A and B are shown apart, each in its own frame.
Chain A
Amino acid sequence: MSTGRTTIAHDPAAAPTGLPRWTYVPAVVGGLFVVLPLLALGTRVPWTGYWTLVTSEPARAALVLSLQTAATSTALCLVLGIPLALVLARGRFPGRDLLRSLVLVPLVLPPVVGGIALLSTFGRRGLLGESIEVLGLQVAFSTTAVVLAQTFVALPFLVVSLEGALRTAGSRYDVVAASLGAGPTTVLRRVTLPLVWPGLVSGTVLAFARALGEFGATLTFAGSLQGVTRTLPLEIYLQRETDPDAAVALSLLLVAIAVVVIAVTHRRAAP
């Protein structure tokens, strides 16, 4: 058993795929459907004075706040989401399927509804609100509220990616490692997680991107104050009222950040 080696026989890139030609037509239309609006946004960008627009005091405050909160939310997603995905993929307990469905609800929930749900939980008159207030903490209108809103909407992205990867990987190697005397935590750290690394990375990127773009739940639950709760999407929405040029300039900045994050992590994650 210890000498057995599994070789991956199929390299999908080398095998003739036999993809029907017609699939290219809708594929191109689909690609254009995503890319064209981004290019159109580029044509609206006021290039002269772009730098001034994106480095104004409110824009800088919003950018810094967005990066800080999205990073914190992503970290929180990893801390809570990795164990959650493991339990959902490998744990055995009644009601697991129900729990999985419930955890994914924020994926399909309109963000404003998410905001109202968070208010009903952490708000002043919410389920936990009074206990939190007794502790002398205030969640509403604070940066904490922004992080909570972002984590709420981003967590399912991480869980769904990682859980899928765990199911695909299977638990054969974990069983082998355990039979060789490795403790459960060692198996998790040395075998399970390295095997699902690409799934974990893409889940993390998705969670970060979703947190960065969060708007509805933040506005409903956290409010909007420069440097405290007004993240980049909220700033864009507000600028649109008076200065559409600034709104477009900041939109492009947000798109650029998203593209950079995705590009960097994909390169890192590639074998």
Chain B
Amino acid sequence: MTPPRRVAARAALLAASAAVTLAGCSTAAEADTTLTVFAAASLAQAFEQIADDFEADHPGVDVLLNLAGSSSLAAQIQQGAPADVIASADTATMDRLVTDGLVGVPQVFATNTLQIAVPPGNPADVAALTDLAAPGLRLVVCAPEVPCGAATTAVVGDAGLTLHPVSEEPSVTDVLGKVTSGEADAGLVYVTDVARAGDQVEGVAFPEADGAVNAYPIATVERTGRTADETELTEAFVDAVLSSEGRSTLADLGFAAP
């Protein structure tokens, strides 16, 4: 029983590796240009859609997405990572790259605001921002060091509230995770995170959120040795994000227009 199965497995493996090799060859032959786009993790779904549309409109172009936290992306570019376009989740990160002369002029293409995320059924009856200060409420927020935490600090400060979170997470995804798992009664995340989580959480909008609007800027990355065609494509991708089609993709996922 074992030997034939092993042979079959080996044959399958060979076939698979041959297919991969062939696919690699054909891609290399057809897609002669690769565009490397660095995008903030919260943009994942939106940029996958925009990249697919862009590839459909530009045959022979392959868009490679590198999705990570904005600070990580900026650090990679500062250390010489080969990127063509960067879209960050906050202006502060982009400003650092502008100061270093590593990117072109940034343009804001979307905005995002905070929303309260609660587990389905809202067990702690959170209806407003002030409810988050209630004693005994298990609240999870972003640490002030990361963009969503900075927005939280601003909104809460403007409202004159003092919160006592049980945890200050290093990323908005971690905050969302604590709410979807039901460990937290409420978390402060972005509108787009609530949209992304589907029916795993409920969103509670609050008017104070407008006090801290998070802007998403996009810019071309300075890179030597780029051909005129490549430069044109790089700019075309930025235009695609700013286009009405790009905007509608972003709007579908909860991002607001700048």
Contacts and interface: CB of A to CB of B under 8 A. Distances in A.
Given A223-B167, A239-B145, 6 more contacts: A140-B138, A141-B183, A219-B170, A224-B143, A224-B170, A226-B168
A229 B168 CA distance: 10
A41 to B, nearest CB: 15
Nearest to B78: A244
Contacts of A158: none
Contacts of A239: 145
A140 B168 contact: no
Interface in A234-268: 234, 237-242, 244
B75 A223 contact: no
A242 B166 contact: no
Contacts of A225: 165-168
Contacts of B167: 141, 222-225, 229
Interface of A: 119, 123-125, 140-141, 219-220, 222-226, 229-230, 234, 237-242, 244
**9 tightest A-B contacts by CB?**
A223-B167, A141-B166, A242-B145, A140-B183, A125-B182, A241-B145, A238-B170, A241-B71, A225-B167
A241 B168 contact: no
B143 A244 contact: no
Contacts of A229: 167
A70 to B, nearest CB: 20
Contacts of A219: 169-170, 174
A45 B180 CA distance: 39
B183 A238 contact: no
Main SS class of interface, B: loop
Contacts, number: 56
Interface in B53-88: 69, 71, 75
A197 B143 CA distance: 44
B247 interface: no
B195 to A, nearest CB: 23
B164 to A, nearest CB: 10
Is the interface on chain B under 10, 10 to 19, 20 to 34, or 35 or more residues? 20 to 34
A123 B170 contact: no
A244 B79 CA distance: 13
A220 B178 CA distance: 8
Contact of B181 (A123, A237, A240, A242): A123
9 contacts: A123-B181, A141-B138, A141-B167, A219-B170, A224-B174, A234-B170, A238-B170, A240-B71, A241-B170
A124 B145 contact: no
A240 B182 CA distance: 28
A119 B183 CA distance: 8
B155 to A, nearest CB: 19
Residue of A141, A223, A229 most packed against chain B (CB within 10 A): A223
B118 to A, nearest CB: 14
A225 B69 CA distance: 20
Given A141-B166, A223-B140, A241 B183 contact: no
B170 A244 contact: no
A238 to B, nearest CB: 5
Given A123-B183, A125-B181, A241 B146 contact: yes
Contacts of A237: 170
B177 interface: yes
Contacts of A226: 168
A238 B177 contact: no
A226 B178 CA distance: 17
B68 to A, nearest CB: 12
A266 to B, nearest CB: 34
Contacts of B174: 219-220, 224
A86 to B, nearest CB: 36
A119 B182 CA distance: 10
Given A141-B167, A224-B170, A123 B145 contact: no
B214 to A, nearest CB: 15
A69 to B, nearest CB: 16
Contacts of B166: 140-141, 223, 225
